A and B are shown apart, each in its own frame.
Chain A
């Protein structure tokens, strides 16, 4: 009887603990999920996955202890430090790396949590929140054909949106244009020695291609997997559009004309 009671108490304690810790953790995770995108704007979290060139390995190695440390601290505290730590080196810092660290962290939390509780549902929600995607989506990603999702023509310095064409995104293109310009500026500052433009950014199932011209740049968002034929059509469309703009300065002051030129050049990219 005493044994049963003890067991009962233990189970109850565990559940109480779960009830107490669960929401706190959930809240933290939710904050982690939410504050990143909110503060960086909708794109940045997902777009930090700028490709690391080999030469950047040193940088990553140098900052990794800081990041790891602050990432760990942040589960307990707030995430301000992490983000502050990331901020100055954002240009060189890369989602791949952050993702790896977050994944590692979540795995260790995972393991610990699994020992403590056996709420399957809770756990699954947790994983989905950390990853922000459904596993099933990740699996099919590799099989998707390429689709042109969105094009933005953005003024170089100000980041103001000059024209855009979208097949149904619900993000505010004005804000995305501004945020992309801020990221681009950061990355290019970081690479200024090699005078390299930021050329593409990957996030989740999307790739953003950036093409710079004199006074504006063009961002093309593509989902699925790129093939050569699609690439060729896309390049033709981008160059065709840019040439027209360069030839006729009037487009710069007539947003509506630019808009229809954009639609004209890109509506055939998705066949």
Chain B
């Protein structure tokens, strides 16, 4: 079974780094802006079921609303990524989630707070309290924390859909 998934979220939150970590098991410090769209492929094993993800990492410095509508077409689920250290990446979260839901016509959205390595546990708690929506995973692409789990969680949601 193969599925298209999409990563969305503000510029610099770590979308490409999460893909890099998940697909290639590496992290690069170097700042890279994603150009256009980068598609990667990775197979997940979900309790015996092999799921092939085609991961669309959509570009750049654009607002979520500026992701070309056609990129959402045919996607089975999304990771919505924000940066735990930058409030501007998660304010108005529920509104943004609604926009994404409408654009993608998908309810399989995993909300991911990234860069946990830069935060104290208490800070993370505070952010999660303030955010007002359920955060499904707190990750660090850098220290490889929960990255696999976030993608697997999305896989499970898609399979059970």
Q: Which residues of A contact B (CB under 8 A)?
A: 35, 39-41, 44, 80, 83-84, 87, 90, 155-161, 172, 174-175, 178-179, 182, 185-186, 188-189
Q: Can you list, as one digit per residue, whether each of B94-105 has a CB less than 8 Å from chain A (1) or not (0)? A: 000000000000
B residues contacting the other copy or chain, number (CB 8 A): 25
22 CB-based A-B contacts, threshold 8 Å: A35-B35, A39-B34, A39-B36, A40-B35, A40-B36, A41-B39, A83-B35, A84-B60, A87-B35, A156-B73, A158-B73, A159-B4, A159-B39, A160-B3, A161-B2, A175-B40, A182-B56, A185-B73, A186-B70, A188-B70, A189-B68, A189-B70
Query: How far is B75's CA from A185's CA once the two chains are assembled, in angstroms?
Result: 14
Whether A158 pairs with B4 at a CB distance below 8 angstroms is yes
Given contacts A158-B4, A175-B40, 5 further A-B contacts (CB under 8 A): A39-B38, A159-B4, A175-B39, A185-B73, A186-B70
Partner of B54, one of A35, A40, A178: A178
Specify which chain A residues have a CB less than 8 angstroms from the CB of B24 in the assembled complex.
Answer: none
- Can you name the residue of chain A whose Cβ is closest to the Cβ of B59? A87
When the two chains form the complex, which single residue of A90, A159, A160 contacts B36, counting CB atoms closer than 8 Å? A90
Interface residues of B (CB under 8 A from A): 2-4, 33-41, 52, 54, 56, 59-61, 68, 70-71, 73-76
Task: Give bound CA distance, A35 to B35, whole Å.
Answer: 9
Chain B residues, CB < 8 A from A186? 68, 70
Known contacts A159-B54, A189-B68; A80/B41 CB under 8 A: no
Residue contact B33 to A158, C-beta cutoff 8 Å: no
Which single residue of chain A is at the shortest CB-CB distance from B39? A178
CA–CA, A182 to B54, complex, Å? 13
Q: Assuming A87-B60, A175-B41, is B74 touching A156 (CB within 8 A)?
A: yes
* Chain A residues with CB under 8 A of B68: 185-186, 189
Query: Which residue of A35, A160, A188 contacts B4 across the interface (Cβ within 8 Å)?
Result: A160
Residues in A with CB closer than 8 Å to B4 are 158-160, 178
Please give me the 10 A-B residue pairs with the lowest Cβ-Cβ distance, nearest first. Answer: A158-B74, A157-B74, A185-B70, A157-B73, A178-B39, A39-B35, A158-B4, A83-B35, A182-B37, A174-B41
B36 neighbours in A (Cβ, 8 Å): 39-40, 44, 83, 87, 90, 182
Smallest CB gap from B61: residue in A: A84
Tell me, in angstroms, the Cα distance from A160 to B54 when the chains sit together: 8
Residues of B within 8 A of A44 (CB): 36
Closest residue of B by beta carbon distance from A79? B35
In the complex, what's the smallest C-beta–C-beta distance from A39 to chain B, in angstroms? 4
Distance from A185 Cβ to chain B, minimum over Cβ atoms (Å):
4
User: Closest residue of chain A to B75, judged by CB?
Assistant: A158
